[in-house]
Structure 1
Amino acid sequence: MSSLIFSEIELGRLVLRNRFVMAPMTRCRSSQPGDIPNELMAKYYSQRADHTGLIISEASQISAQGKGYSRTPGIFTKEQTEGWKKTTELVHKKGSKIFLQLWHVGRMSHESFHEDRQTVGPSSIKPNARVWVIGEDGVGKMIECPIPLELTKRQIRDIISNFRLAARNAIEAGFDGVEIHGANGYLIDQFLRRSSNLRRDDYGGSIENRTRFAYEVAEAVSDEVGNHRTGIRLSPFIKQRGMDDEEAIDTILSLSKRLDQLGLIYIHLAEADWDDAPDIDISFRQKIRQVYRGRIIVAGNYSTERGERLINSGLVDLIAFGRPYIANPDFPIRIKNGWGLADYDPNTLFGGAGEGYTSYQGYTQKSDQVNPTHF
């Protein structure tokens, strides 16, 4: 296949060899204690770096308070920073670029992760959500999130400082940049939505106030590592986890305009990813292009053909793929050659060792599928 998705593209000061992005996916394989990135994780990412333009890492907590799932890696200690160097070194040897996704989960957490047994959020509203927690029996289970404590302004300032420090650590670890996780019902997204943010201070109420926290995080991170190394992920259409808000689109557009003023290099839109998800209204794509001049990445169960059409329209620049990369470490080259795709084992998504993680192999004729078409 010869198409635009395989063409080079500039991203800030970087040149990506194609427009395939490996989307961030939580896999819960860090070493314990300490949530430290390890050699197994480095192997996993390097396996998928051979033919990929940009890899965005799994979300990594910026502080102990920011953790929401068992065995997710962090980026706030010296040991974690050193551990991530194993990944960046191997990925760069394969010719790919890699950004680290920074997150604070907010209320999407569980008390067992925190010394004070408390989760936090913009308001004391329990999410309609569960998180993956390994119990004392060593078995991981999905457990409901409790009611969080409302963050004070002092705590909000501390979290912004934590984002800044985490970004600095990411660059120290060798990442080409960072992606701020502002999507999918986590802390930044919680501030954006009226359904999760009932504050009456400078961080709640109006759209301007509800976007303040996201803007201040982006401002701190880009000031620390450069706007040419800073992207953000947003999810205007996601309604799960108690995040339904009729003003979500207007809020995201307003925030995008402010982020354009900061010069962030990309916005990564996490869109609906179920099989029969509706197409995104073209008017939204046109509006965000009007207010934001940086690169736009989209993710949401895309086929390469659908992604190619969007790239050709000029409304997006890169396409992110998640699940296809799990069992197909050579995913872009399979698409280019029309080779079949392997299926992943859903039972090995979270936790464990190499099985269902680094055990997937590149394409061979023996591994070809019945329907060798584009994903």
Structure 2
Amino acid sequence: MKRPMVWAVVPYILGIAVANAGWLPIWHLLAACVALSALAAVSKTSRSLVSLPLLFGLGLGNQSYHLNRLPADDLRNQLGDGQQIVTLTGRLATTPEHRVSEIYGKDYWRSMVELAVNEIETDTGRSAASGTVHVSAPFRLAKRYYAGRQVSVSGVIKRPPVAAADGMFSYRDYLARHGIHFQLRTKTPRDWRLLDEAKPPAPPLSVRFQRWARDTLAKPLGGEDDVVRLLWAMTLGWRTSLNGEVAKPFMYSGTMHIFAISGLHIAMIAAILVQLMRIARLPRVACGLLLIPMLWFYVAATGWQASAVRSSVMVTIVAMGWILKRPGDLVNSLAAAAVLILLWEPQQLFMTGFQLSFCVVFSIAMLALPLQERIQNRL
């Protein structure tokens, strides 16, 4: 099997990597890519050789655009590397995540949320601003704070910490890959103020679904307890109650990943839905056309977690091939999913979750499946 998407994803990934390294000026590299493609076209070589430099240039240009995009009112142009007391006005880009930890028998809450800033106020005055800030609070934010609300938040803003030593994890680089370059720390609920109390927007689908699903799962089991919270975490990705003591057994056993909506959840849901529809004697096309929106509804309802999006893209590609009765090839489908994800967000290439997800599935396709076939043939 030729696997055409593999030939597409490899030069595209190389282009992203070269742009990220910044070895040569971007325009020189793009000009070289166009020249090589033109030379290959003039010499009447295969279409693959013509497209390889273009795909490399596409990855190069896409990553360079994401790295060099810096509006005039960006927070990086207005703030330095030191700490500063500010008031930020903007829209909550995400619904707050809550974490609880138990210290000497007492629960301590912490809330984290991303704020899309449109205005900043410092001791020198107020001005327009743009950028996303990671905001934290040492308490649990009220339920009326959710994605889409307009808020004003006061606190201390600073750059995220860098790696303690070369080669170690850098929280600054991690947030920068997500388009976040500043952290804001607040102290009390008085630092937070809603600006759209008169006409608040409706809660997003994920918030409404999560609240309904948690209540529905808890009622038959007699209300909220440790077992119900673990059930919420495994089915909905709700990790608020996963404090140190609860999470420790899963961390030690290497099963912490079951609390993230990932390929395991998506594959199980897809398999269950397909079997139910086949039992109902629905044709293949109908099964596929119903399966895809159902999966994406679940992804949206659970908050668009990155691992769930990656898995759903992969299942969608496989389902489309199944609908069109095309020969299935896991490696080619994996490459197609990588191309789609990296076209939308090339920074995903440098995120651990993306690397692990695709490396694991690639290993299964290249090692586990052939080994399984050999064992079955011998039996």
Shorter-chain TM-score tier: under 0.3
TM-score (norm 2): 0.25
TM-score (norm 1): 0.25
In our comparison, the structure showing a higher alpha carbon Rg is: 2
Structure of greater relative contact order (alpha carbons < 8 Å, 6+ residues apart): 1
